[in-house]
Chain A
Amino acid sequence: MRFVDEYRDPVAARTLLDRIRVLAGDDRFKFMEVCGGHTHAIYRHGIEHILPEGVELVHGPGCPVCVIPMGRVDDAIAVAEQPGVTFTAFGDMMRVPGSHGTLLESKARGADVRVVYSPLDALRIAIDEPDRRVVFFAVGFETTAPSTALTLLRARELDVGNFDVFCNHVTIVPPVKAILDSPDLRLDGFIGPGHVSTVIGQRPYRFVPERYGKPLVTAGFEPLDVLAAITMLLEQIRSGRCEVENQYTRAVREEGNPRALAVMAETFELRPHFEWRGLGFISQSALQLRPEFAAWDAERRYAIPGVRVADPKACQCGEVLKGVIKPWECKVFGTACTPQTPIGTCMVSSEGACAAYYNFGRLHREAAVALRR
Chain B
Amino acid sequence: MTDTPTGQIVRPATPTPQGRDGPSREALVFERIEAFRRRKPRLPDEFVTLAHGAGGKSSAALLDAVFMPAFWNDTLAARTDAATIELPSGERLAFTTDSYVVNPVRFPGGSVGDLAVNGTVNDLAMMGADPLGLSAAFVLEEGFPIESLRGIVADMAAAAAAAGVDIVTGDTKVVDHGAADGIYITTAGVGTIPAGRRLDTRSVQPGDAVIVSGTLADHGIAVMLARGDLALEADIDSDTASLHGLVGLLLDEVPDTRWMRDATRGGLGTVANELAQTTDLTVVLREAELPVRPAVAGACELLGIDPLYVANEGKFVAVVPADRADLAVETLRTHPLGRDAAHIGEIRSEPPGIVVLVTAFGGTRIIDMLVGDPLPRIC
Segment among A151-159, A239-247, A298-306, A364-372 that sits at the interface with chain B? A364-372
With A139-B378, A284-B7, A372-B358 given, is the CB distance from A360 to B13 under 8 Å? Answer: no
Please state if A372 and B13 are interface contacts (CB–CB under 8 Å): no
Cβ–Cβ contact A265 & B1, under 8 A: yes
Are A283 and B6 in contact, with the CB atoms below 8 A?
Answer: yes
Chain A nearest CB, measured from B101 CB (Å)? 17
Which residues in A have their C-beta under 8 angstroms from that of B25?
329
Smallest CB gap from A327: residue in B: B29
A280 touches B11 (CB 8 A): yes
Q: Please give, as numbers and ranges, the residues of chain B lying within 8 Å of A14 by CB-CB distance.
A: 362
Docked CA distance A338–B48 (Å): 19
Judge whether A59 is part of the interface by a CB distance below 8 angstroms: no
Return A325 CB to nearest CB of chain B, in Å. Answer: 7
- Give 11 new A-B contacts, CB below 8 A, not counting A333-B33, A359-B366, A364-B351: A14-B362, A46-B365, A64-B378, A64-B379, A90-B378, A91-B376, A173-B2, A207-B5, A281-B10, A324-B18, A351-B377
Check: A181 CB closer than 8 A to any chain B CB.
yes
* CB nearest neighbor in B for A181: B9
A117 with B15: in contact, given A45-B363, A204-B3 (CB under 8 Å)? no
* A residues 27-74 in Cβ contact with B at 8 Å: 37, 40, 43-50, 64-65
Is B265 close to A, CB under 8 A? no
> Are A368 and B364 closer than 8 Å at their CB atoms?
yes
Could you tell me the distance between the alpha carbons of A173 and B10 in the complex, rounded to whole angstroms? Answer: 16
Verify B350–A46 contact, CB threshold 8 A.
no
Measured between beta carbons, the chain B residues less than 8 angstroms from A199 are 2
A230 contacts the other chain (CB 8 A): no
Q: Are A121 and B5 in contact (CB under 8 A)?
A: no
Majority secondary structure, B binding face: loop
Q: Is the CB of B368 within 8 A of A359?
A: yes
A163 to B297, CA, bound (A): 35
User: B345-379 vs A: 1/0 string, CB under 8 Å?
Assistant: 00010110010111111111110100110011111
Query: B15 CB to closest chain A CB, in angstroms?
Result: 5
Residues of chain B whose beta carbon lies under 8 Å from any beta carbon of chain A: 1-13, 15-16, 18-20, 23, 25-27, 29-30, 32-33, 36, 41-42, 44-51, 57-58, 61, 229-231, 282, 284, 294, 297-298, 301, 304, 348, 350-351, 354, 356-366, 368, 371-372, 375-379
**Which A residues between 307 and 361 are near B, CB-CB below 8 angstroms?**
316, 318-319, 322, 324-326, 328-329, 333-335, 338-341, 349-351, 358-361
Contact between A340 and B57, CB atoms less than 8 A apart? yes
Name the distance in Å between B233's Cβ and chain A's nearest Cβ.
15
Is A176 positioned at the interface, with any CB of B under 8 Å from its CB? yes
B27 & A364 in contact (Cβ 8 Å cutoff): yes
Q: Which residues of A contact B45 (CB under 8 A)?
A: 105
Q: What CA separation (Å) do A22 and B3 show in the bound complex?
A: 36
Nearest chain B residue, comparing its CB with the CB of A350: B377
Asked if residues B361 and A121 are in contact (CB atoms below 8 Å), the reply is no
Q: Is A215 an interface residue when CB atoms closer than 8 A count as contact?
A: no
Q: A324-B15, A359-B368 are in contact. Are A177 and B5 (CB under 8 A)?
A: yes
